[in-house]
Amino acid sequence: MPPATVLDFVTLFFVGMLAGIEFVIHYGVSGATEGLDERSQLQLRQALVLRLRVLVPAFFAPAVLSGIAVTVLDGFDLGFWFRCAGVLAMLVWIWIRIIGAVPINSDTLKWKLDAPPRDWKALVNHAERFHIIGVWAAVMAFGFFLTAVALKLTA
């Protein structure tokens, strides 16, 4: 198997895992926390931030790097524009995380469980508006890279 094809599948793995993580956190975990009392919600959020700030970069860094590398290596074949769109979607995901998730996650870790900020729910809801864009940017990146690989394999 050519190295570029191996890199295609490496990219699909990392981008797919990132999209899955994002999707489950947003649609599975976030909604489920609403049924918890305030202290439990905050405790869960803090625990998730501590774990995900290690887990998510372990997938997004290789996803972006391999996505860029395979776009350059494969050149102008049938899937070129889909790979470019995938890289762009990953860059949107990173931008959304920087402006939407990183600040609230950093603040969340500083909140005291017994005395959170009065407006903590409004702050979280504001960040969630950004998060939904990030979720769909990751899902779209996976779809774009998947389409590029499908085109390459059928050519």
Q: Give the containing element (helix H, strand E) for 29.
A: none
Mean pLDDT across 104-122:
92
Spell out a b/e string for 64-78, using b for 16 or more CB atoms within 10 Å of the CB, else e.
bebbbebbeebeeee
Report which of 66, 86, 61, 69 is spatially closest to residue 151, judged by C-alpha positions.
86
The predicted pLDDT at position 75 comes to 87
- Give the model confidence (pLDDT) of 3-17 as tens digits: 888 999 999 999 999
Domain boundaries, the chain: 3-154
Q: What is the pTM of this model?
A: 0.91
Q: What sign for the dihedral angle of Cα 128, 108, 95, 74?
A: negative
- Give the model confidence (pLDDT) of 15-61 as tens digits: 999 999 999 999 988 878 888 899 999 999 999 999 999 999 999 99
